[in-house]
Structure 1
């Protein structure tokens, strides 16, 4: 019970469905005096009190479990390390993967509980063979299946989402008001919960030591210097401080952040179009495809509020390449080819694969391939420039 309206209503519905329910609030911060500011932040003292009041009205036991150490290691530290490595992580995915449906679920099962029930807007469907599948919620505008894409078959077997079939958030709020919950009109939380003021760049600047490096164009020409690559994300336009305009007079955007050389690569907006994404850290939400090595049709979603895009995907084997920089070890990866190029894609983001409304699986994006190669005039004849088609981190 996060202290919001969704988890309160989900708990009440679980009780009415005949389940024995215990309310649990996760203490994820070691700063107990922290309070929510409007719709920013979550899991605060204020939220804990709101959850307590809802549990009292429902008539269920209520506990606060301290997961602050695990949250710091698995979510906050991971967020810092990913940015330091030039990637753009999604902390909500890590929290669901490592905390709510791993650490919390493990403790719950050890204590004799059967499932973790949350207020996420998603549905679990059992197919004809008894396999549990994760599907989109009925109301796509509030659908949260994307952030649950990291759940595995084993985790789905112990998960419940009572709000999945609810047509709208307005209906949930109306139900909360009828039940007498004080959180009926509480604002939804947004932004990163552990950065409640929304200043991600400033927050990272206090935790990652800045190091001056070069800003390059796609051909490797130096355009300027930066004070710390961690302050840049793929797709960023403002704050580049290059000085000299591009030859065509158009603005330039961040195309790559290279942590090994501490360089930032910029280029034209059209170079942000991505024709291929791939990740080695992939999982299947429920039953895996029978032959994932054979290309299959799907939809891919790269952000929580992005539209799904038609694509084809397959699991491929990549041979070792000791001559690459850095060297590449043999591995398998989930490769996704969208029908039309994607924009705003960065390594570290999560690509969730759907077949219809079903969440098939996901991968953390390790590499992307631009649909716009480096101009041929800047390439050595008969070779492919190192960064002509790839935006690798």
Structure 2
């Protein structure tokens, strides 16, 4: 759709599709981003609108920058977001360089996000359609890259996009949305890590915060921070006996920490997940000036792509790091996820970084790590 709209607007368009992994088993998969069927669909559309189309083999780059990073991140007890790494490296670094080599004046993608030219240059903004907004996954886009990128679909909702595809006679107007991680079949992350890092996944203990051993696990890669179901250990009996009649006499337990060095999954009550401060690294600042204000700045922060933003104050911590102090504690914050910063009013993305740890506000609890720093 991006290519078709730009072609209709009179631009000289060259279509490029990236081959990122072995598509043999993914040609017919629905809901997979960058599946083999996408190459066929892109070629069909290119023929329909009359533009050249090239398929570039970026498989080795994708494996090095995204797939290997994904596996290593899980082994560190983190919960990675490979789509961010893909945008950050393969697409907006490598592909953008290829586009410049071809003499292109811009690289346009189908991401649902908006590029707005402000008083100090291009800004990154949420998409017009909140349900399809992908700004969380583009926080690492640099100001220099924003100068070269265009996002023609960012001001449209998905229904309008499909209607435009129908108007232009494209054969993809009813194509399902992509939802899965492209190289993770059936959402089985643990199986992918086991295949990529054979022998690196070892069993260990499930331990309560008080030190008591509650059970065993087959590898920490099967667990995420905040997980409650599927632990196989039940809850913890309440102090003082059972609750009111008809109420369970145990409190649920959650994964509060992963310890790859000791191969332990640490569990505890929900309050142990409370994060008052989130520590982030590799911070990319898009808010203008020389970086995060030394006196701190008011922001809204998203700590997972599916969670609503929370009010906070961000402080610079040196070395590309930041401390994000939350107005209200947030739960289930995990290392490897992103802390993406938005302006308190409006739709502007101010930047973001990779979550490396938290400081807990729960009384009587030691500061908890979101994962290995």
**Residue 177, structure 1, aligned to residue 178, structure 2:** no
**Residue 194, structure 1, aligned to residue 183, structure 2:** yes
The answer on whether the counterparts of 1:373 and 1:388 sit within 8 Å (CA) in structure 2 is no
Cα distance between partner residues in 1 of 2:233 and 2:25: 42
Say which of 91, 97, 101 aligns to 2:88: 97
The answer on whether the counterparts of 2:283 and 2:320 sit within 8 Å (CA) in structure 1 is no
| Residue 388 (structure 1) shift | 4.0
More displaced 10-residue stretch of structure 1: 247-256 or 234-243? 234-243
Using a 3 Å threshold, how does the CA distance of structure 1 residues 33 and 201 change in structure 2: closer, same or farther? closer
Tell me what 2:246 maps to. Answer: none
Tell me what 1:275 maps to. Answer: 276
Q: Secondary structure at the match of 2:56?
A: strand
Using a 3 Å threshold, how does the CA distance of structure 1 residues 244 and 51 change in structure 2: closer, same or farther? closer
Cα distance between partner residues in 1 of 2:332 and 2:292: 30
Cα distance between partner residues in 2 of 1:303 and 1:350: 7
Say which of 16, 20, 23 aligns to 2:12: 20
**Residue 334, structure 1, aligned to residue 322, structure 2:** yes
Q: Secondary structure at the match of 2:329?
A: coil
The two structures have a TM-score, normalised by structure 2, of 0.90
Using a 3 Å threshold, how does the CA distance of structure 1 residues 22 and 286 change in structure 2: closer, same or farther? farther
Q: Secondary structure at the match of 1:139?
A: coil
Map of 1:110-149 to 2, 5 A cutoff? 110-129=101-120, 131-149=121-139
Tell me what 2:243 maps to. Answer: none
Tell me what 2:348 maps to. Answer: 358
| Residue 94 (structure 1) shift | 0.7
Cα distance between partner residues in 1 of 2:251 and 2:292: 46
Where does the alignment leave 5 or more consecutive residues of structure 1 unmatched? 1-8, 318-330, 376-386
Map of 1:214-363 to 2, 5 A cutoff? 214-242=205-233, 245-248=236-239, 249-285=250-286, 287-288=288-289, 292-317=293-318, 331=319, 333-355=321-343, 356-363=346-353
Using a 3 Å threshold, how does the CA distance of structure 1 residues 332 and 102 change in structure 2: closer, same or farther? closer
**Residue 203, structure 1, aligned to residue 197, structure 2:** no
After superposition, the C-alpha distances for 1:30-83 in whole angstroms (9 at most, x for unaligned) are 3445313222x2323321111111111111110101111111111111100000
More displaced 10-residue stretch of structure 1: 240-249 or 145-154? 240-249
The answer on whether the counterparts of 1:152 and 1:286 sit within 8 Å (CA) in structure 2 is no
Tell me what 2:245 maps to. Answer: none
After superposition, the C-alpha distances for 1:276-333 in whole angstroms (9 at most, x for unaligned) are 111121112363555532211011012223211111101124xxxxxxxxxxxxx552
Using a 3 Å threshold, how does the CA distance of structure 1 residues 74 and 332 change in structure 2: closer, same or farther? closer
Using a 3 Å threshold, how does the CA distance of structure 1 residues 373 and 68 change in structure 2: closer, same or farther? farther
| Residue 247 (structure 1) shift | 4.2
Q: Secondary structure at the match of 1:305?
A: coil
Tell me what 1:86 maps to. Answer: 77
Tell me what 1:37 maps to. Answer: 29
The answer on whether the counterparts of 2:35 and 2:182 sit within 8 Å (CA) in structure 1 is no
Cα distance between partner residues in 1 of 2:178 and 2:292: 40
Cα distance between partner residues in 1 of 2:268 and 2:126: 36
Where does the alignment leave 5 or more consecutive residues of structure 2 unmatched? 240-249
RMSD after superposition: 1.9
More displaced 10-residue stretch of structure 1: 353-362 or 238-247? 238-247
Cα distance between partner residues in 1 of 2:23 and 2:237: 47
Cα distance between partner residues in 1 of 2:289 and 2:78: 27
Tell me what 1:370 maps to. Answer: 360
| Residue 104 (structure 1) shift | 0.5
Q: Secondary structure at the match of 2:351?
A: strand
Using a 3 Å threshold, how does the CA distance of structure 1 residues 363 and 246 change in structure 2: closer, same or farther? farther
Tell me what 1:63 maps to. Answer: 54
The answer on whether the counterparts of 1:225 and 1:242 sit within 8 Å (CA) in structure 2 is no
Cα distance between partner residues in 1 of 2:53 and 2:368: 54
Q: Secondary structure at the match of 1:365?
A: strand
